[in-house]
Structure 1
Amino acid sequence: MPLLPETARQVDALVADAQAANHVPSLVVGVVRDGTLAHLATAGTHPRPDADLQYRVGSITKTMTAVLLMQERDAGRLALADPLRRHLPEVSAAGEVTLRQLLGHAGGLQREPDGPWWERSEGVDLATLLAGFSAAKIAYPPHRAWHYSNLAYGLLGGVLERLTGTPWARLVHERILAPLDMQRTTYAAAEPFARGYVVHPWHGTLREEPRTDSGAMAPAGQLWSTATDLARWAAFLADPDPAVLAPGTLDEMCAPVVLSDLESWRGGYGLGIQLTRLGDRIHVGHGGSMPGYVAALAVHRRSRTGIVGFANSYGFRTGSLGALGHRVLTRVLDAEPAPAHPWRPVDTPPPADLAPLTGRWWWMGTPLDLSWDRDTGELVGTVRGDRISRYAPAGTDRWRGVSGIENGEVLTVSRDAAGHPVALDIATFVFTRTPDDEP
């Protein structure tokens, strides 16, 4: 569904203002909604942007590397608690640093590998990358602090290659790009693509930047993509295709491993996913930069709304494009909130043994309202009208919490001699039918 005309006008104005203020040769921001590219705002003429023009995505590549790792975890071929050295014995100096810590930039590794600035230099092979690793590359003990590390993702790509016997570039194409029909997302630039520049600050001339092959560091930032293709990836992060990754696994990736902003708790990192808190909303995604390029990806999963963005000037910093993307996403969500799902009557009552469980229960004067969700077969418990937990069947008179504050806890039904339910035991908290009953 396209944006309303006034919302589209405001988004276009934000993008046009940013292009002019930051002297960007070519700028594009797309709004993604319900799995499709709902609006494309463009500015600049060098080159004139469109939905099929390639830009370099930089570290957005890391989100795909993380998905590949989680596929291997789900298949039972690795554990997130595995030390890195279990899969790459050459980096024994990494000690007990785990794959989970590396995915969340909580392993304490320094930001870059040895050698010249890898983003502007031809990359080395995996053996050379591993040979350059030493204890000197450990900046902090694990979980001492959040510390962003490109090196960590080069090493995670090495884990994937060792484990599967397949080069990372082939893995990402076969397991992600092809299944999601991201035909214009490639390892190297494919015409038409925007050249990347440094803009001279005083007279506005352009210096074209090199387009290097990152080699073993490719899993950290190599890929190229378009607004159309990156919109498909944003849609995946909102609502994943189970053939690529289990939805529950993506939920796990979007849970914080570490906070990157300890002052205001506005930023964090999951398993390969950047987390940004703006008011009561959490945006998930990632930023990206390579010489001459910056990119942005942010998704509000609950509403299945997101943004993608590209610029071809390294002077327009990643943070600036990311901030623009968050402003655009917030503007869209504020102007066009997702409509409420219409209520519909239930045409079949709950099973006879389940119906008596519904209604109001009490613990120490605190009400618990229990209802039945016909579509899922789950019980839904609401405490004081706002704390909601869902319970799935787990045996006779046993229900396991699957979401909310009671996630993982067991609800056990107690019955009297006649078989009528008289109490609910939720993690030792016993609810009865009247406020003053003794448990």
Structure 2
Amino acid sequence: MLPETRRALLHRLAVGQARGRTPSMVGAVVRGGRTVWSGARSMIDGHAPDADVQYRIGSVSKTFAAVLVLRLRDEGLVDLADPLEQHLPGTAAGRASIRELLCHAAGLSSETPGPWWERTPGTLRPELSDLLEDQPFRHPAGERFHYSNPGYALLGALVERLRRQPWGEVLRQEVLEPLGMHRTTLLPQAPHAGGFAVHPWADVMLPEPLVDTGAMAPAGQLWSTAADLCRWAAFLTGGHAKVLSAETLAEMRRPAVAPDEEWASCYGLGLQSVRRGGRLLVGHSGSMPGFLAALWFSPADDVAAVTLANVTAGANPSTVAADLIGIVAEREPAFPPPWRPLPQIDPALLALTGPWYWGPTPLALKLGADRHLELVELTGSARTSRFRPEPDGTWTGLDGYYAGEPLRVVPATDGSVDHLDVGSFVLTRQPYGPAEAVPGGVAEAGWQAM
């Protein structure tokens, strides 16, 4: 970071700490997969926590729980359409699907039966049945977004059931250790911040209880540091071979339930998306008594930010984190990677490139690295899609209109390429030709002047 950028980042953090009336606030920025800045401010003159001090991260914990569930799916142990009852029998939420629980569309209650789980020990809820009322559904399943903390506790229990180990141990072995996140734990480890409430009308503080929430841990128990969460942000943007693929993480980012009317925010499979300052940010916010947290990244800018505070209310880490991203993206926009030619040429694929026609609509097929193809509509962008090669010689759409649809090269009798078939749409080298390839045929008179 340039010196003036670093100062602007620290200034924004200082304003967040002062106006938020929080004992301390830590922030960090990730770009290109690595931490490029971190800073902190506190109420103690000349002393501030560093990026290795633990804070409670609240519902940012849900992103970790979701990754564990997606690992189960990618291994073939569950299908996201499976009802919870199929793998975790005996709960009052058994008819909800795993997907609905991940994206808060199961219609479950927002909280457990009293007392409030965030300020009371998990020993008060020793059984899964203690997390839900006898009739826990507030809305029909799959109909709308309704945030549910117990829903994520059930997902944690699902992981425990299938892995036959405590949720926290599964998380450590399968996620934290491979990513080098040694300062992310279920319970606090020194050095860690204390949690406080600040009086709304006076500058006085009250310590908050730091309880072990037991079975509710996947919903908000974790403690972490700015440094560890930077590693987590880098993982969420690019994936890791030993944890989860970039393709699955892209699936987690996609909206899984209908966004609100103004499209200000929506929820995917464990990840939130919000619009801030003209940017689409992906990540999660979190809160527990005494702590607030935020982790957001901008895919378009390849910049992420983490903000942690030890106060119950008043500060706004999400806004601060979004502003940190904006400062870096606007002051020091990333350079695009240099253009490079393909390392090798496949003549057969090269011959497929260029103009194609869907009826009279002109399109172009482009060849990218690793045999990927891109189909672009030349009169607009409605049908732009990228395609991934498959072992059987076909391609599968990755995005746009043709996401998930197959692209096949159909040969002519002489072995040349006759046409392309994209999810039953026939693409030919000439508008509506050759006629025998076009569904429904072509008028014998052909093209005419009128």
TM-score with structure 2 length normalisation? 0.89
2:374 is aligned to: 380
2:84 is aligned to: 84
Q: Deviations over 1:372-407 (max 9, x none)?
A: 22x311222222274532334447774333344322
1:289 is aligned to: 287
1:350 is aligned to: 346
1:299 is aligned to: 297
Contact 2:185–2:224 under 8 Å retained in 1: yes
Cα pair distance change 1:347/1:238, threshold 3 Å:
closer
Q: Deviations over 1:317-349 (max 9, x none)?
A: 5xx221221222133223333222211234643
Q: Is residue 2:166 matched to residue 1:167?
A: yes
**What does residue range 35-434 of structure 1 map to in structure 2 within 5 Å?**
35-46=33-44, 48-91=48-91, 93-124=92-123, 127-131=126-130, 133-259=132-258, 261-278=259-276, 281-316=279-314, 320-346=316-342, 348-351=344-347, 353-373=348-368, 375-384=369-378, 386=381, 387-394=383-390, 398-434=394-430
Cα pair distance change 1:217/1:398, threshold 3 Å:
closer
Contact 2:252–2:271 under 8 Å retained in 1: yes
User: Tell me, what secondary structure is at the counterpart of 1:310?
Assistant: strand
Q: Name the aligned partner's letter for residue 330 of structure 1.
A: G
Cα pair distance change 1:164/1:347, threshold 3 Å:
closer
Structure 1 residue 280 displacement after superposition: 6.1
| Deviating more after overlay: 361-370 vs 184-193 | 361-370
Structure 1 residue 159 displacement after superposition: 1.3
Percent identical among aligned pairs is 42
Cα pair distance change 1:431/1:127, threshold 3 Å:
same
RMSD: 2.2
Structure 1 residue 415 displacement after superposition: 4.0
User: Tell me, what secondary structure is at the counterpart of 1:179?
Assistant: helix
Contact 1:356–1:421 under 8 Å retained in 2: no
**1:16 and 1:244 mapped to 2: Cα distance?**
35
Contact 2:265–2:272 under 8 Å retained in 1: yes
User: Tell me, what secondary structure is at the counterpart of 2:218?
Assistant: helix
Structure 1 stretches of 4+ with a deviation exceeding 6 A read none
The runs of 5 or more residues in structure 2 that have no matched partner are 439-450
User: Tell me, what secondary structure is at the counterpart of 1:112?
Assistant: coil
Structure 1 residue 362 displacement after superposition: 2.2
**2:102 and 2:89 mapped to 1: Cα distance?**
18
**1:397 and 1:212 mapped to 2: Cα distance?**
56
User: Tell me, what secondary structure is at the counterpart of 2:185?
Assistant: coil
**1:350 and 1:146 mapped to 2: Cα distance?**
47
Q: How many residues align?
A: 431
Q: Name the aligned partner's letter for residue 2 of structure 2.
A: L
| Deviating more after overlay: 222-231 vs 276-285 | 276-285
Q: Deviations over 1:124-145 (max 9, x none)?
A: 3775232453343211111232
User: Tell me, what secondary structure is at the counterpart of 1:356?
Assistant: helix
Q: Name the aligned partner's letter for residue 273 of structure 1.
A: L
User: Tell me, what secondary structure is at the counterpart of 2:179?
Assistant: coil
**1:315 and 1:398 mapped to 2: Cα distance?**
54
Contact 1:239–1:304 under 8 Å retained in 2: no
User: Tell me, what secondary structure is at the counterpart of 1:193?
Assistant: coil
Cα pair distance change 1:433/1:88, threshold 3 Å:
closer
Q: Deviations over 1:96-140 (max 9, x none)?
A: 211111111111111111231111111137752324533432111
User: Tell me, what secondary structure is at the counterpart of 1:297?
Assistant: strand
Cα pair distance change 1:142/1:376, threshold 3 Å:
same
Cα pair distance change 1:167/1:95, threshold 3 Å:
closer
